[in-house]
C-alpha cells in the first residue's frame, strides 16, 4: 500500500477507535511497529497514552456526581445524562496471582462508577444493579466500558453499561441510580421499554472470577 494511502487509512482508524494500539495497527497494515510510529509522527497523532490522557482531561471537568479519583478507570467521553465511555487497564494488582484473571469486583466497579459519573447531579448513588459477567478478563487486557442512560426522571435514573475487550463483550449491567433531583430544563421522564424489567436489580456475581 502506498505511504500516502496507508497514512490516510491509519488516521481514519484512529479517529474511529482512539483506543487502538500501535501493535494492532501494525498487524492491520502488515508493516513494522517503527513504520506505524513514523506515520503517526508525520500525521501529528500522539501515542495511545497521550490520546487517552487528553480525552480524560476534557471529560473529568464535566463529572459532578463523583470525584475524579473515585472513578475506576479513565473517563474518555462523557455526555451528561446521556452516555459515557471509560477505559480500564488490567494490571497485576487487579488479578488473582494464581491465574492472572481479573477480580470481578474491579470490572463491576468500573461499570458502576461510570454509571454514577454519567448522571448530571452532585449526589448520585447506586440503588441496585442487575449484572452479568460474560467472560473472564486477563492481565494486560484493556476494558472499555460504555454507559447509556435508558431513562431519567425525578430522583431516579436507569443506566445500562456494557464492557468490552476489543470486540468481545465481557460484562453487562443495568443500574438503578438515585440522585438528588434539582430543577432541570425538562422534568419529563425519558423511558425506554425494557422487556421484563423491574425496579429490583439485586447485585450478584460482583466477584465471581
Looking at the chain, the whole-number percentage of residues with pLDDT higher than 70 is 79
Domain boundaries, the chain: 3-45, 59-179
- pLDDT for the residue numbered 183: 45
* Residue 192 predicted with pLDDT over 70: no
Of 179, 121, 170, nearest to 141 (Cα)? 170
- pLDDT for the residue numbered 70: 76
CA angle 105, 108, 110 (to 5 degrees): 110
Query: CB of 175 within 8 A of CB of 112?
Result: yes
Q: Does domain 3-45 have CATH number 3.30.60.50?
A: no
pLDDT band at 122 (very low <50, low <70, confident <90, very high): confident
CATH number of this structure's domain 59-179, picked from the four choices 1.10.530.10, 3.30.460.80, 3.10.20.30, 3.10.129.10: 3.10.129.10
* Residue 149 predicted with pLDDT over 80: yes
Q: Work out the angle between the directed axes of helices 33-43 and 22-29 (0-180°, nearest 10).
A: 110
- pLDDT for the residue numbered 63: 63
* Residue 160 predicted with pLDDT over 90: yes
Summarised one tens digit per residue, pLDDT across range 18-70 is 888 898 899 999 999 999 999 999 999 888 888 877 776 665 555 666 666 67
- pLDDT for the residue numbered 51: 80
What are the backbone dihedrals phi and psi of residue 193, each rounded to the nearest 5 degrees, phi first?
-65, 125
- pLDDT for the residue numbered 189: 43
Of 12, 51, 42, nearest to 142 (Cα)? 51
* HEC string for the chain: CCHHHHHHHHHHHHHHCCCCCHHHHHHHHCCCHHHHHHHHHHHCCCCHHHHHHHHHHHHHCCCCCCCHHHCCCEEEEEECCCEEEEEEECCHHHECCCCCEECHHHHHHHHHHHHHHCCCCCCEEEEEEEEEECCCCECCCEEEEEEEEEEEECCEEEEEEEEEECCEEEEEEEEEEEECCCCCCCCCCCCCCCCCCCCCCCCCCCCCC
Distant-in-sequence, close-in-space partners of 152: CB < 8 Å, separation ≥ 6:
81, 158, 189, 190
* Residue 208 predicted with pLDDT over 60: no
- pLDDT for the residue numbered 59: 57
**Among 58-67, 90-99, 190-199, the range of highest mean pLDDT:** 90-99
Summarised one tens digit per residue, pLDDT across range 76-92 is 888 889 999 999 999 99
17-21, 140-144, 202-206: lowest mean pLDDT where? 202-206
pTM of the model as a whole: 0.68
Amino acid at each position: 500500500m502506498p505511504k500516502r494511502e496507508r497514512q490516510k487509512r491509519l488516521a481514519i482508524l484512529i479517529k474511529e477507535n482512539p483506543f487502538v494500539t500501535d501493535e494492532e495497527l501494525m498487524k492491520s497494515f502488515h508493516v513494522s511497529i517503527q513504520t506505524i510510529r513514523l506515520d503517526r509522527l508525520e500525521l501529528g497523532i500522539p501515542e495511545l497514552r497521550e490520546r487517552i490522557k487528553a480525552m480524560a482531561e476534557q471529560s473529568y471537568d464535566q463529572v459532578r456526581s463523583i470525584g475524579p479519583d473515585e472513578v475506576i478507570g479513565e473517563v474518555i467521553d462523557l455526555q451528561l445524562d446521556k452516555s459515557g465511555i471509560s477505559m480500564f487497564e488490567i494490571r497485576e494488582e487487579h488479578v488473582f496471582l494464581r491465574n492472572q484473571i481479573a477480580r470481578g469486583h474491579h470490572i463491576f466497579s468500573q461499570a458502576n462508577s461510570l454509571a454514577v459519573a454519567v448522571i448530571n447531579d452532585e449526589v448520585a448513588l447506586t440503588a441496585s444493579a442487575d449484572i452479568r459477567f460474560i467472560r473472564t478478563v486477563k492481565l494486560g487486557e484493556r476494558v472499555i466500558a460504555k454507559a447509556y442512560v435508558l431513562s431519567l426522571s425525578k430522583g431516579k435514573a436507569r443506566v445500562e453499561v456494557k464492557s468490552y475487550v476489543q470486540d468481545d463483550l465481557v460484562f453487562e449491567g443495568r443500574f438503578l441510580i438515585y440522585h438528588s433531583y434539582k430543577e432541570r430544563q425538562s422534568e419529563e421522564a425519558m423511558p425506554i421499554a425494557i422487556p421484563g424489567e423491574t425496579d429490583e436489580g439485586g447485585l450478584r456475581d460482583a466477584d465471581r472470577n
